[in-house]
Amino acid sequence: MPVHHLEETFQQTVDAEIKIEAKDWMPEAYRKTNLRQISQHAHSEVVGMLPEGNWITRAPSLKRKAILIAKVQDEAGHGLYLYSAAETLGMSRDQMIADLHSGKAKYSSIFNYPTLTWADMGAIGWLVDGAAILNQVMLCRTSYGPYARAMVRICKEESFHQRQGFEALLVLSKGTQEQRAMCQDAINRWWWPSLMMFGPRDSESTNSDQSMKWKIKRKTNDELRQNFVDMIAQQVKLLGMTLPDPDLKWNEARGHYDFGEINWDEFWNVVKGNGPCNRQRLQARINAHEEGAWVREAAVAYAQKQSAKQKKVA
């Protein structure tokens, strides 16, 4: 079939809400966009373990420690589902990880900010996982089958992440003067970076139109960001805290909250690798990979032993 016919059939499949599967014909740009997006998402899950992993030994109680360990493990699992989904598009996991470690592949900039106090664990769960959920709920209906299916399970775990974060802040917000101040300070530091997680404004976003047409995305960056602001502006009242934005105000006519301008210089600076923790995170990730080499080797040796055994039996 000539390519333009294949493209037409492909678009009809997408329009009919039928999932695209790994072995289906797809435009090269669709494959590449998905591969970039899914692998970047996988990297974000795995790098996201680092700032929180730092607090496991410092969690204030056994209960908090158990919750935090469970959350960090969930993120590892998310990384694994997503690497598997990305592999169906023709790149090996080893290659993806090599690209992450060389700096060629990106991960979410949010993880390049430091976690200074225990309240940051709450703020990350509530704000960072909260922002991620909005994006991920949309992705449960993305057109590429393996990605959409991975997101269904991930979303269930993400809602636990957000609740535990909010609950940790709720406890602090009812605590001593010092605890309340720590809670407010964490919210102040994580608010703007969380808004940046939705990416550049629609007018600046280069891939947006095509991704909407292919139903890779179903909402634009600005729509998702607005949903997030509307949700958090309400929830913050329950904490008795404030968001650090003097322009935040309910707009009756729009039926949404208005909010201030993001510092886009800061956004691009962190994307380009100059955030407060870019170098530190990447180095920690490389170290973890190297220190875990013996585990991978042991797993391969075990798998070989098992398959040799099975061959003998057969």
Residues that bind Fe ion (CB under 5 A): 45, 75, 78, 129, 158, 161
Q: Return the structure tokens found at 44.
A: 């974000």
Query: Of 30 and 166, which CB lies nearer to Fe ion in the complex structure?
Result: 166
Q: Which of 240, 91, 110, 252 is nearest to 180 (CA)?
A: 240
**Cα(35)–Cα(45) distance, rounded to whole angstroms?**
15
* Identity of residue 79: G
Query: Of 45 and 245, which CB lies nearer to Fe ion in the complex structure?
Result: 45
Query: Of 56 and 248, which CB lies nearer to Fe ion in the complex structure?
Result: 56
Checking DSSP bridges between strand 256-258 and strand 249-251, what pairing results, if any?
Answer: antiparallel
Q: Return the structure tokens found at 206.
A: 């280069």
Query: Of 45 and 87, which CB lies nearer to Fe ion in the complex structure?
Result: 45
As measured in angstroms, the least distance from the Cβ of 300 to Fe ion is 27
Query: Of 155 and 262, which CB lies nearer to Fe ion in the complex structure?
Result: 155
Query: Of 10 and 190, which CB lies nearer to Fe ion in the complex structure?
Result: 190
As measured in angstroms, the least distance from the Cβ of 311 to Fe ion is 38
As measured in angstroms, the least distance from the Cβ of 178 to Fe ion is 28
**Cα(244)–Cα(261) distance, rounded to whole angstroms?**
12
As measured in angstroms, the least distance from the Cβ of 48 to Fe ion is 7
As measured in angstroms, the least distance from the Cβ of 73 to Fe ion is 11
As measured in angstroms, the least distance from the Cβ of 69 to Fe ion is 13
Half-sphere exposure of 49 (CA within 13 A, CB side): 20
**Cα(218)–Cα(201) distance, rounded to whole angstroms?**
15
* Identity of residue 211: S
* Identity of residue 225: R
C-alpha of 143 from chain center: 19
**Cα(25)–Cα(272) distance, rounded to whole angstroms?**
34
Asked whether the beta carbons of 106 and 40 are under 8 A apart, the reply is yes
Q: How far is CA 272 from CA 112, 233, 260, 269, 278, in A?
A: 11, 30, 23, 5, 9
As measured in angstroms, the least distance from the Cβ of 72 to Fe ion is 9
Query: Of 87 and 129, which CB lies nearer to Fe ion in the complex structure?
Result: 129
